Chain A
Amino acid sequence: MKGALIFTWALLIVLFLSVFVITTVFVYRYRITIEVNYQYNYNNVQLALLTFLSSTHENSQMSDVLAKQISMNQPIDEGMIKDKLDKIVENRCYTLNTSGIPFEGNNVNCEKKYSATYKLPYPYNPQNITGDAVLVIG
């Protein structure tokens, strides 16, 4: 009887410790992975937007091209913008929103989203001197 009691206690203690160890290791790993991934993805969206706006089209920077076309109400070359973004973002889903004009990638429905914003200075438009370029990547 006494042996059975000790055995039960021992089993319970080992079980409790095992559950404690396994749970904390998984929680710890999950938390660290989430933190590192967030940092990496957040930085990469900023870099992707920076890359897109720094790249050139017909000898003008994309930031200037977008700012001019939006402030002068000119049609925007959607194909060229999507082509550039597809190359930068690759297979991930994305949306670029420049002053309410959205450009979306092929894969739009994504769960986790990271965003970056840049203020575009608009020339020739005294009422609205800046506008936001917001890139959201999944």
Chain B
Amino acid sequence: MKGQYKMLADMFGGILVVALCIAIFFLFIGYYVIIKGVIKSSEDERKTINLGHVLISSDKLAYSDEKRINRGILDENKLEQMQPDELFDEIGYPNYNYFIQVNNTDSGKSWLIGEKFKPQIVKVFPVAIKSGDDVQVGKLVVNLKRR
């Protein structure tokens, strides 16, 4: 009888050790996956922020005279004549898709550059928009997702 109890206790002990090993293994796999997910989502956010800053400083969108590019001041003429493919060929991240929306909050005009989709990250940047001799206020919205 005593031998049977000992055998049962050893069996339970063995099962517990195996279960513990499996639990620890899955715990660390989960840990790794969650941490990786956090890093990836923060990387996407950072990329969206960087993209926004590159766009508002780019000759493709920003107002420029012969001497300099005016960072943060978008040119309405460039927005009107914008070819999305040209912009995406020059500015973008590999493995990411994005589209931008520019709203002139003074005049109510808005521009959509690129094809709309459901974005993973959306970031808004305040910008000025040069329209003729006037410089009005508006915002640039960058919508990004992984391919």
How many interface residues does B have (CB within 8 Å)?
42
The secondary structure that dominates the B interface is helix
Contact between chains at B27 and A18 (CB < 8 Å)? yes
Q: Nearest Cβ distance between residue B36 and chain A, in whole angstroms?
A: 11
Is the C-beta of B97 less than 8 angstroms from some C-beta in chain A? no
Residue of B nearest to A86 (CB): B105
CB-defined contacts of B136 to chain A, threshold 8 Å: 55-56
B73 at interface (Cβ–Cβ under 8 A)? yes
The interface-forming segment of B81-89, B112-120, B127-135 is B127-135
Which of A37-45, A106-114, A125-133 forms contacts with chain B?
A37-45
Task: Report the Cα distance A32→B72, complex, angstroms.
Answer: 27
Are B126 and A21 closer than 8 Å at their CB atoms?
no
Residue of A nearest to B53 (CB): A43
| Interchain CB contact under 8 A, A10 and B20 | yes
Query: In the complex where A25-B31, A50-B128, A59-B133 touch, is A7 in contact with B16 (Cβ < 8 A)?
Result: yes
| Contact of A69 with B by CB under 8 A | no
Does the CB pair A43–B49 fall under 8 Å? Answer: yes
B59 within 8 A of A: no
A13 to B20, CA, bound (A): 8
CB distance from B133 to the nearest CB of A (A): 6
Q: Which of B70, B126, B128 contacts A44 (CB 8 A)?
A: B126
Task: Closest A residue to B13 by CB, please name it.
Answer: A6
The interface of chain B, by Cβ under 8 A from chain A, is 8-9, 12-13, 16-17, 19-20, 23-24, 27-28, 30-31, 34-35, 38-39, 42, 45-46, 49, 53, 56, 70-73, 105-106, 123-128, 133-137, 139
11 CB contacts below 8 A, A to B, read: A6-B12, A6-B17, A7-B12, A28-B35, A32-B38, A35-B42, A43-B53, A50-B72, A51-B126, A54-B135, A84-B137
